[in-house]
Structure 1
Amino acid sequence: MTEKRTMIHKSYLKFVNDKKQSLKEKYVKMIFSSMDAISWA
């Protein structure tokens, strides 16, 4: 029972981490593309 809960908790943490990671990547890409737009303007 506890083991199962730990597993679920771990996969949940991994899910949250992945979400944060992809959000960060999107954010970084956005910043870089806007920087490109500014440098090309």
Structure 2
Amino acid sequence: MQGPAFTIEFAHQQGQGANAGGITHIHSIYREPGNDYGAGLPA
């Protein structure tokens, strides 16, 4: 999903490997152009 002031990224994941058990889960991130990854936050 994308707008002029934000982007939301979404990835559906199917677990793999011996310990994953095929569990389905999601990864998502909210981003703001010009403040990417909190660049505008005070240290």
For normalisation by structure 2, the TM-score amounts to 0.22
For normalisation by structure 1, the TM-score amounts to 0.23
More helix by share: 1
More strand by share: 2
The structure whose Rg is larger is 1
